[in-house]
Chain A
Amino acid sequence: MIQQQVRKSGNSFVVTIPKSEMDRLNLHEGQSVAVDITPLELKPMIRPEIAEILDRTTEAAAPMMKYLKDK
């Protein structure tokens, strides 16, 4: 699956296919393709140093997270 932004083109909107994807699928201009559009919400990734802290402390913090959830 590729991720692209929807862009305005006149009164329509377009989504481009990167050349790398054209090459990978051996596509050519004028070829018919099926497109299945799924809206995406991008989320920030956890920085490695924060991921390390979360990995190391999640077990100890879990009972208190449950306690807070029930509050």
Chain B
Amino acid sequence: MFDLNYLTVADVIAIYDRVMLESDQMPAALVREDALQRAVHHPRVLAHYEGASLAAQAVDLALELALAHAWVDGNKRISVRSFEVFLELNHVATPDADRKQFIDDFIDVVGAKPEERSELLGGLIGMVQRWVDAAAG
């Protein structure tokens, strides 16, 4: 079991509002609060039942938020930003040099068929694990 700092649903809603305002957009309506709650808590479920690593939980949070489509607009942005904030809360920085690669790979994962996802997810988790290892020194 990992002793991690987790985001709450309220955190993600607050981050969403800020992300949208920084994009010069009004925050869109939250249309699936139940799906948002499931997505935010999903990493803890993975950790509890599968012993998921920090990297795996961070990627899971991003994927679950994107698939939840909790808002009318901005779902991929809140997914990636929440992923980054979750890692930062656990003292792992997202390297600038890897950001675009991560996002391109992440978009591929989100758009993939469910049966194709696990292999693509492995690559993403591997990338994030390198960041975790670098932060651990």
Contact = CB atoms under 8 A, between A and B. Distances in A.
Contacts of A68: 76-77, 80, 103
Nearest to B17: A43
B52 interface: no
Chain A residues touching B, majority SS: helix
Interface residues of B, number: 26
Given A57-B84, A64-B99, A69-B77, A50 B11 contact: yes
Nearest to A60: B96
A69 B17 CA distance: 14
Contacts of A62: 22
A53 B107 contact: no
Interface of B: 7, 10-11, 13-15, 17-19, 22-23, 74, 76-77, 80-81, 84-85, 88-89, 94, 96, 99-100, 103, 107
Given A46-B11, A46-B15, A64-B103, A53 B89 contact: yes
